[in-house]
Amino acid sequence: TLTFRIPHPVEPTLEIRSLLAKFQTVIRLPFRDAVARDKAVRWMNQWSTSKCIPPLLLCQHLAELSLGFEETPIRWCTRQRPKPFTDGDTVIEAVHDGKSHCSAFRSWAHSWHSEGAVKQHSVAVTLPLTPRGEPEAFAEAIPLHVFFPTYERLSLYALVHASFELKTSRDHVRDSEYDQSVLDELGAVVERLIRRVPAQVTLRAFVPHDSTSDGVARRIQERIIHILTRVAFIPCIGGETQTVKLARRYEPYLGAALDVSAAELAHESLVEPGLVADAPSRAALKELGGPELTGADYPRLLRFCRNGTYVECKVAFETLARVVGQFAPKHQHTDDWKVFRDACRLVPCWWTSTAR
């Protein structure tokens, strides 16, 4: 609840008169000083860019917001929004300097009443949508939001809103008896999201890029990591999904040579080649502690390569050469070297009579 103390009435300006023609009450709040005004102008200029998160995004009951600085007037209009704190897409149009652009977002959200609480609690996780309407990670890390951004720094490329209690400055979270329930409900929303978006989006958006966060930000990230390691969302060759702890990653060049339709590969828990080829996803799997193939696995699995044409066989041969250069045991005539050599000899080649 916001309480305004109005010391005395003033004569309305022309702009205020125009607003009074549309609204019952108009409150004019002056800036503290020129520095505060310049800071607000910078914020507004940032909000006006297509890459910025519109301030209306989490305001469930506001349809339009206008900021009327003479230098840079800007207006946001909500063109589409789901029911308050339910899953769905939001589209917001921004009009600035005579130009307009729309930003689209997809949110997974939930709200509830905690016993003894004076307000409704809510959580939401939001991702931007591509022009094709597909969710993707944000281009940069987004701070924790409690409807509006705070100074609680999250190392996540997704917008996380959670109705924690805030200090008077509204910049930082203060401890509350409801913190655990907020974290629990946030975890449930994140898990629902993970099950509905591509693994690449999840890995890019939710694996922390550094561990410098502390306080509530660290608790949020630890909760999300726990969910990421528990839910089976990593697509593997053969069509099954596995948890991060079971899905095995490998060098991208191996995936380019494998025959993903081979039945023998379906039981190897190999991450789909497309996901392995995405460098941020591969780094995220490593960060989460996902297992990696051993050197001895490479020639053994390369037996199931694509080799029906000259081009495919050439790729398989080049892959074998890289495997030998990277993983062959250093000391010959050892048991490990002989096993590795024999496995390499079994890699099929279409132009030989024995297909090896």
8-state DSSP, 305: B
Say whether pLDDT at 67 is over 90: no
Residue 356 has pLDDT above 80, yes or no: no
Task: Extract the runs of DSSP E, i.e. beta strands, from 114-227.
Answer: 120-128, 145-146, 148-149, 159-162
The helix (run of H) or strand (run of E) holding residue 193 is: helix 179-194
The pLDDT value recorded for residue 47 is: 67
Residue identified by tokens 């030989």 is: 352
Q: What angle do CA 232, 238, 239 make, to 5 degrees?
A: 50
Q: 115, 124, 177, 175: which is closest to 146 by C-alpha?
A: 124
Give 153 or 40, the one with higher predicted confidence: 153
Q: Is the dihedral of CA 282, 286, 287, 291 positive or negative?
A: positive
Q: What's residue 353's pLDDT?
A: 46
Query: Mind listing the pLDDT tens digit for each residue in 283-328?
Result: 999 999 999 999 999 999 999 999 888 888 899 999 999 999 999 9
Would you give the DSSP letter of residue 269? Answer: -
Least confident segment among 208-212, 266-270, 296-300, 314-318: 208-212
Q: Please give the share of the chain, as a percent, with pLDDT higher than 90.
A: 64
Write out the two tokens for 315: 């790729």
If you average pLDDT over every residue of the chain, what do you get?
88
The residue written with tokens 């924690």 in the block is 164
**Which position has the higher pLDDT, 333 or 191?**
191
Cα angle, residue 92 at apex, residues 47 and 104 outer, rounded to 5°:
100
Question: How far apart, in whole angstroms, are the C-alpha atoms of residue 300 and residue 298?
Answer: 5
Judged on CB neighbours under 10 Å (0-12, 13-18, 19+), 129 is middle
**C-alpha to C-alpha distance for 51 and 315, rounded to whole angstroms:** 41
